[in-house]
Amino acid sequence: MHLVAAEPDPVAPYPSQPPRLLDRMRDRLRVKHYSIRTEQCYLDWARRYVRFHGLRHPSELGAGAVEQFLTDLAVKGNVAPSTQNQAKSALLFLYKEVLGVDLPWLDGIVSARRTPRLPVVLTQAETACLLDHMSGTTGLVARLLYGTGMRILEGVRLRVKDLDLARGEILVRDGKGAKDRVTMVPRSIEPLLKLQLGVAKAQHARDLADGVGAVYLPHALDRKYPNASREWAWQYVFPADRISIDPRAGVRRRHHFDEQLVQRAMRDAVRAAGITKPATPHTLRHSFATHLLEAGYDIRTVQELLGHSDVRTTMIYTHVLNRGGRGVASPLDRLG
């Protein structure tokens, strides 16, 4: 008698594999509306944590394992305090939001030493020389950063609807800490901004004709307003040069201008201008705040323009005002 294997039931579903840990973490990050950069960063820290403990599953580990990993970063890795805090936030998210485990306060961590640093600030003459060596789209973005105090990602992500040339103001949406704020439009670059809007609008019209005129919308607004992604008001003021694939949705659309292009252009301009300070696009934000304080503007006004929650964060610029050593006249200058 021969035994014949039964044919699988075509109706019965095959047993599905449970989602992998990183896939679960990625899904949770997207449900909580974390940015794509934060998502990539948190997933990378989760991988490093698992590898550090010999590929053991985090559910088998606890607060002691987290403390060991973070302490190793500080002691052997000699990382900056901000890097250690970033890793800590990623692991706390992993345990609380993905594994459903509330870790106790991590008192045993050896914290990375935070060394007080003053921001790099350019003088007005250095800023003018630097901007003279920048042109095109990167030059306009750099002028916008210095003229408004915006961060580089806030600048390249600027939407058409948030640029109000008639009122002379910019609404900076979803800045650091998910906060909105208002800053001014530098009148000196209004003609360049109008020209940029014309170029971007013509590009958007060509994209619509090619069937790829949609743009990314935050917080699932594309489901609430299905046609908004194709509207001119939602487009980027500084669109990318080419169409790319959205890493989350997997659709073809035009992203915003690549901030790395601005960083490279500024690095070249710093070298060409003969500036010896380690200036980056964020230096333009520091210079914006310092030059406003030098001009006599109230520190609370500068705080609002920068979007700082605490005025003590803004007060750091009082230490780098162009007044020499804390505004004190050297005794050498009093001789004679």
Q: Phi first, then psi: give them for residue 95, nearest 5 degrees.
A: -75, -45
CB-count burial class (<10 Å; 0-12, 13-18, 19+) for 143: buried
What residues form DSSP beta bridges with 256? 239
Helices and strands of the chain, counted as H and E runs: 13, 5
Tell me which residues are annotated as active site.
Answer: 151, 176, 282, 285, 308, 317
Cα separations in angstroms, 331 against 13, 324, 335: 87, 13, 7
Structure tokens belonging to residue 326: 């804390």
Among candidate residues 83, 11, 96, 97, the one with its CA nearest the CA of residue 41: 83
Are the beta carbons of 133 and 269 closer than 8 angstroms? yes
The sheet with strand 181-184 has its strands ordered as 163-164, 169-172, 181-184
Distances (CA, A) of 322 to 122, 290, 327, 328, 332: 10, 8, 8, 11, 19
Q: Nearest CA to 160 among 237, 78, 54?
A: 237
Distance CA(265)–CA(280), nearest Å, equals: 10
